[in-house]
Amino acid sequence: MVHFKMNVTTRNLMATSMAALIFTLIPACNDTNDGTGAQPIPPITNLPPTVSAGVDQEATEGSRVTLSGTVTDPEDMPSVTWTQLDGIQVELLDPTSLTPAFDAPQVLEAEVLQFQLTADDGTNASVSDTVQVTVQDNGVTVDRLNPDGESYIDPEIHPLRGELVYQTFGEVWVGAVDLADGQFVSATGKDTFIGDTISLTESKNGPEYGLDSGGVAIFYNSTGSDGSLQFSRAAELGGGQYDVQQLTPDGIDRINQLASQDETSDTTYLVYARDANVPGVADATGYIAYLDENAPDDDQDVTAVRPGFAGFRWLRGSTQFTTTAAEDGPDEGQIKLVDAATGEERVITNDPGVKFDPYPWYAPEFDGAIAVQATVNQTDIAIYVDRGTELFERVALLSPPNSTILEYVQSAEPFVSSEGVSYISLTLKDNPGSIFTDVSESEIWIYGIEDGADRFTLKCGDDILGKVRHEAEMVSGENQVLVYYNEFQPSGVIDLIVCQSGIAP
């Protein structure tokens, strides 16, 4: 073992050195800024977020607008909120995201909407930025066509030329229209008187055009010699002349007629509702049936008529129509496709929900395949497409736009523009009841058929509340798509309106 011996001088020197070392280390770790000369460690600073609400935008009324903000913060995940500061109030969808959306409101002139994006990191004061969206008028104009005090009801466009058939309270008339602006060519639009008819509250539908290889005819409800409700046919003879005859025989009531439009067929078929007892279906009021105009006493029953199940529509350019299966069982509420020429029937859907008023068309968006739109649960429009399998595929579910408070759908009809784009015209109303007795407010809308946030929507008409509008009929005009519809006045007069939509024809 080796022993070291430390003298007094050495011990004192080591003690002094240790004390100096301790004195130096303690302030460096625990600075009190007491003037001892020790250097403090700077505190960590939490910086506020940086916020941008994006660039100012322009939008057209009725279009879907998406705001696009950015927030950067290296320390935190700040919460974000969008609020509207100025302009016509709109509903922001997902206002706590960086990219909320809204439907541009209807305007008469340019309207500026201002929005604010605010970020809060929970430590610093919140930071905000603003953005403006200028909403422009979409150029839609509407005009009344009927003279003061007269009612022109349930217009239908001629399948081959610019002409409307409509009814007054008790009469059927035809009037030529100018497809440049949709106006009647004559002063009153009463060019040709066709015949007497019954009220829509009885017939449920106004006059309709039919088309086959022999030409065009008008079909409408009239009163039989025994007082029953029957169909009359007015066949075009040329030069504004018509051969008008009662088509169906007296006996049972037949109402709500729709006529096929197929230039390759040698006859026109009617689908309609007929009054009869339906065995085994307790709440049924009759049958949906069809007939050949050349065999008008041969009613071919398809399905029962039950409340909430009615509705049938022709596939234009064919002898096929769709309706809703109302019989009890697994097919109840599903869509039937029926060929009047062959009698073939098949159910083409099996998804949940009663499909009301199914309407087929050849859709360019699906390579010309048959598509069917139907109202589901009275509020949404489902679109089904024939993919060559037993059942059609549901490809879209269209809900009312957020820019309207109305939610119930009626009288939805597909339309294909001359440019090959499909649209759906429809009535949105404030309750599911009858348009004639229960509804106090309704609007005419045009939908694109694409499903998603960027779906095209357009409202025809003004923003005056409390008006009832109904029965939209679309046609490709010379410069744009024209939309004809009815507007109910408090006086009881039913106006015929044309909407110049601005949609490419």
Q: pLDDT class for 34, splitting at 50, 70, 90? A: low
How far is C-alpha 373 from the chain's CA centre?
Answer: 11
The reply to whether 331 and 387 lie within a common domain is yes
| Residues paired with residue 182 on neighbouring β-strands, in sequence order | none
283 phi/psi in degrees, rounded to 5: -100, 15
Q: Which two tokens stand for residue 439?
A: 């509804």
pTM of the model: 0.78
Between CA 449 and CA 457, with CA 453 as vertex, the angle to 5 degrees is: 50
Mean pLDDT of 437-448: 91
Q: Which two tokens stand for residue 21?
A: 């070392």
**141-144 and 422-429 beta bridge pairing:** unpaired
pLDDT at 298: 97
Rounded CA-CA distance 255/332 in Å is: 23
The reply to whether 15 and 28 lie within a common domain is yes
- Flag whether 505 is in a domain: no
Cα separations in angstroms, 444 against 57, 457, 463, 479, 498:
27, 11, 11, 21, 11
The radius of gyration of the chain from alpha carbons, rounded to an integer in Å, stands at 35
CB 308 within 8 A of CB 354: yes
Name residue 230's amino acid.
Q
Rounded CA-CA distance 399/427 in Å is: 13
Range of the domain at 208: 141-500
178 phi/psi in degrees, rounded to 5: -90, 115
The reply to whether 225 and 372 lie within a common domain is yes
Rounded CA-CA distance 300/302 in Å is: 7
The reply to whether 292 and 434 lie within a common domain is yes
Of the listed ranges 2-16, 42-56, 192-206, 227-241, the one predicted with least confidence: 2-16
- Flag whether 288 is in a domain: yes
Query: Helix or strand or coil: residue 6?
Result: coil
The reply to whether 77 and 2 lie within a common domain is no
The reply to whether 406 and 469 lie within a common domain is yes
Please tell me the total count of domains within the chain: 3
pLDDT tens digit string along 48-91? 899 999 999 998 887 779 999 999 988 878 999 999 999 999 99
* 454 DSSP 8-state letter: T
The reply to whether 39 and 172 lie within a common domain is no
The reply to whether 398 and 269 lie within a common domain is yes
The reply to whether 109 and 183 lie within a common domain is no
The reply to whether 326 and 205 lie within a common domain is yes
The reply to whether 2 and 129 lie within a common domain is no
Q: What percent of the chain stands above pLDDT 70? A: 91
227 pLDDT more than 90: yes
Cα separations in angstroms, 240 against 30, 212, 228, 396:
105, 19, 29, 43
The reply to whether 118 and 188 lie within a common domain is no
Mean pLDDT of 266-276: 95
Q: Which residue has the tokens 């539908």?
A: 205
Q: Which residue has the tokens 């003004």?
A: 462
How far is C-alpha 48 from the chain's CA centre?
Answer: 44
Rounded CA-CA distance 235/441 in Å is: 37
Mean pLDDT of 34-54: 78
Q: Which two tokens stand for residue 63?
A: 């279009």
